[in-house]
Amino acid sequence: MSENKCTSCGHVGLGEGYVAAFNGLLATGCSVWVSGEVRRGALGGVKLAGGQPTFFIEAFRCARCGHLELFANRPT
């Protein structure tokens, strides 16, 4: 448990977790934050160009109200 405080209700002690990337029913990995605008490929999917900074998304959930706090501090 983190000693961070919920910005929604003020409860102290947020549970650490992560945001999983899903493809249908299977988890394909952890989601990341990507710098810049979303670019679409020919089939409409998100296209990642090389060289864009990316960071793991770390999530913390309030046990009292369910509010999620997301942080992107760790580079991939």
Residue pLDDT, tens place only, 26-38: 777 788 888 888 8
Domain enclosing residue 59, as ranges: 2-75
pTM of the model: 0.69
Asked whether the beta carbons of 22 and 29 are under 8 A apart, the reply is no
Report d(CA 38, CA 24) in Å as an integer: 21
The pLDDT assigned to 1 comes to 45
Q: pLDDT tier at 2 (50, 70, 90 boundaries)? A: low
- Give one DSSP letter per residue of 12-73, joined into a string: EEEEEEE-EEEETTEEEEE-EEESS---B-TTSSB-PPTT--EEEEEEEE-TTT--EEEEEE
Residue pLDDT, tens place only, 11-70: 998 888 877 777 666 777 788 888 888 888 888 888 877 788 888 899 999 999 999 999
Query: How many folded domains does the chain comprise?
Result: 1
Q: Report which secondary-structure segment, H or E, holds 76.
A: none
